[in-house]
Amino acid sequence: MHPITTFSAQIVALPVENIDTDQIVPARYLKTTNKVGLGDAAFADWRWNSDGTPKPDFVLNRPDVQNAQILVAGNNFGCGSSREHAPWALTGAGFKAVISTFFGDIFRSNALKNGLLPIVVDEDTLYQLFSLFEEDPATVVTIDLPNQQLVLPGGQRVGFPLDPFAKHCLINGVDQMGFLLHEDSMIAAYEARHPARVQTV
Amino acid sequence: MPIPRTLFEKIWDSHTVRPQTEATPAVLYIDLHLIHEVTSPQAFTELRARGIAARRPSQTLATMDHSTPTTPRNNLGVIPVIDAQGAAQLAQLEQNCQDFGIPLFKLGSENQGIVHVIGPEQGLTQPGMTIVCGDSHTSTHGAFGALAFGIGTSEVAHVLATQCLLQSKPKTMEIRVDGQLGRGVTAKDIILAIIAKIGVGGGTGYVFEYTGEAIRALSMEQRMTICNMSIEGGARAGLIAPDETTIAYIKGRPRAPQGQAWDEAVAYWQSLPSDHGATYDATVVLNANELRPMITYGTNPGMGIPIDGRVPTVAQMPDASQRLGLEKSLKYMGLEQGQPLLGQKINMVFVGSCTNSRISDLREAAALIKGQQVAPGVRMMVVPGSQQVKRQAEAEGLHEIFRAAGAEWREAGCSACLAMNGDMVPSGEYCVSTSNRNFEGRQGPGSRTFLASPITAVASAINGVVADPREMLN
Ligand code: SF4
């Protein structure tokens, strides 16, 4: 994973509550056996007509948001299924961060493993971002990861929580698999103390 | 005196390979890893890229369920997979299992079925274990007092490679259901009522433990229905303490401990229930006596009402975003605010999914539909959760009851629960479904889902409209 520190990007607002993973990527796109090419599947049922033409009134189809890399979404983003295809689709569609008041647990964990930042803000900040976008769709914000701050256009800084380990992994590009593999001797010691509880073969 | 601990804490403590610190999450050992075709291919790719083997194939089990067809077999016993991408995914799983030495219940085998139905059926799901699967409804296994939760594909790779996961300790929420259920009110109605009360995000960050008289009175299959939908309340896992019901269910199953190992296991299981005086981070209380059959009207499982209630009005919503949410849902569902759902015309009924496709669900459904007919113009699909459930149902003649009523009797799999395999609800049509998600497009693009219990589904199938099962139970 590439290290992430501070970046600025245009926002796009999707002020819908409880956006579930079936909206982020519908099940029929889950037949793939790799991670690439899911960008067009992001929000597919909101974005495309059944003949594949874009729905003009869906915000992500607007010409002026095509470079947006930060999605600002209503409360509780990413509830539902465990499909990691959801962050794969969002990063495939060019997003680097999603801002909401809270996230589904599995989505948040999956996003962090794919360099997609789930940024938690309070409701006031969320509504402020929605209005900023409404007033000026070209609004750019900065995400300062080392300081855990969101920098709004006027320079206002809003802190966001991030668990220290996730932060460490993001900033240093640490891969969690490598981290776990490194624990091999402790795992072996655990296994020696605890015989397997079940056998599947 | 040792500090009193909850069931969750006991399982967490006994699986900690390395405790959580301020800088790092805990390394948690996983006893059983379940795999299916949809969320695993990229994990195996990762292992191959790093040149590592599966650490414990004998603690891993794979099945085919999500993209498998449920159409009847041809006369050679083969189920044709029509869709090339789905077929490729199934072939990939078979190859991966072969290469990594993982046992697989493949399509056509006698044990194949929905991943959360087969674990308990085989006796693999046992109290005190940690169980994961790349599927959010892994919470189902919590009915046995196992800490079971869904993981993403990166984590599937972690478990394959190390049999461990990096996890931060979640908070605990006790959900106590006092009292007794009335006639026609089922486990599905309990969980729909809980989610309607706390909302789809209410359990985020928590593990639920369901307690109380009404929970203790449930069978294992009913407990699975409840734990299955913990994730719809935002909780990754839901637990029910093991008791005599749990032990009786596991006894004699193919992978259950035997002989002396059985006695030791039972003694351990009996030590697991939360200690007297153990505390939870939050508590929610419901009274089963007050519950009625539940049904959802909207596009998330928290949008549920008693079946004889009315869809809420926009004015009743506490804030602007919920008003918008309700408007958006009702527009999608083609419903009016304030309307009753009883009498609402339906097009389909789906009895199946890991929530309600076990033998007891099918028995209840069959008992109600026996001698009746599915209303003209309504399509009813009955999809058993596993081949074993299917065989049992056929041995009891349930399939003949369904067929005589005009319902379809199909092969085991996820089917119209997520509509990946061709089984779907046509755009704009209404389906009363015993599954767990009514999200937009969940049962196919444009599909409109009313979540309910198997008996509510059957009552609705017979009437051709949303109907109250209590009126049909004599
Ligand atoms: S039946 Fe539905 S919810 Fe259950 S595992 Fe299959 S797709 Fe998921």
User: Is the complex ipTM more than 0.95?
Assistant: yes
Q: What is the pTM of this model?
A: 0.97
CB B40 within 8 A of CB B134: yes
> At residue B9, does pLDDT exceed 80?
yes
> Per the CB < 8 Å rule, is A83 touching B39?
yes
The alpha carbons of chain B give a radius of gyration, in whole angstroms, of: 22
Task: Show Cβ contacts of residue B248 under 8 Å, excluding neighbours closer than 6 positions.
Answer: none
- Best of B64, B67, B136, B250 to disrupt the A interface (most A CBs within 10 Å) is B136
Number of domains in chain A: 1
> What pLDDT score does B76 carry?
65
A44 vs B245: CA distance, rounded Å: 45
> What pLDDT score does A42 carry?
97
> At residue B77, does pLDDT exceed 70?
no
Distance from CA of A173 to the nearest CA of B (A): 15
Residue A198 lies in a domain: no
CB B149 within 8 A of CB B166: no
Task: Show Cβ contacts of residue B360 under 8 Å, excluding neighbours closer than 6 positions.
Answer: B219, B221, B222
Site of tokens 């070209």: A138
B212 vs B178: CA distance, rounded Å: 5
A18 vs B329: CA distance, rounded Å: 11
Cα–Cα distances (Å) from B142 to B8, B161, B229, in that order, read 10, 24, 11
Ligand 1 pocket residue status of B232, Cβ below 6 Å? no
Task: Tell me the mean pLDDT in the region B270-277.
Answer: 98
Task: Tell me the mean pLDDT in the region B431-444.
Answer: 98
For residue B256, what is the DSSP state? Answer: S
Number of H helices, E strands in chain B: 15, 19
- B343-370 tens-digit pLDDT: 999 999 999 999 999 999 999 999 999 9
Residue A178 lies in a domain: no
Of the partner residues B46, B59, B420, the one whose CB lies closest to the CB of residue A28: B420
Residue A93 lies in a domain: yes
B226 vs B175: CA distance, rounded Å: 11
Cα–Cα distances (Å) from B418 to A46, B290, B411, in that order, read 18, 32, 16
A101 vs B178: CA distance, rounded Å: 33
Residue A186 lies in a domain: no
Specify the 3-state DSSP secondary structure of B427: coil
Residue A179 lies in a domain: no
Residues in A touching B162 (Cβ below 8 Å): 177, 180-181, 183-184, 187
Residue A46 lies in a domain: yes
Residue A197 lies in a domain: no
> Per the CB < 8 Å rule, is A196 touching B57?
no
CB B349 within 8 A of CB B432: yes
Sign of the four-CA dihedral B160, B161, B164, B168: negative
Task: Show Cβ contacts of residue B371 under 8 Å, excluding neighbours closer than 6 positions.
Answer: none
Q: What is the CATH number of the domain that holds A140?
A: 3.20.19.10
Residues in B touching A84 (Cβ below 8 Å): 39, 42, 134, 152-154
| B324/A contact by beta carbon, under 8 A | yes
Task: Tell me the mean pLDDT in the region B427-449.
Answer: 98
Per the structure, the complete domain to which residue A37 belongs is given by 6-172
Residues in A touching B86 (Cβ below 8 Å): 31
Enter the tokens of residue B318: 């506490």
Beta bridge partners of B166: B27
> At residue B438, does pLDDT exceed 80?
yes
Residues in A touching B31 (Cβ below 8 Å): 196-198
Question: Exposed, middle or buried: residue A148 (CB in 10 Å: 0-12, 13-18, 19+)?
Answer: middle
Residue A49 lies in a domain: yes
Choosing from B63, B66, B350 the residue with most ligand 1 atoms within 8 A of its CB, the one to mutate for a pocket test is: B66
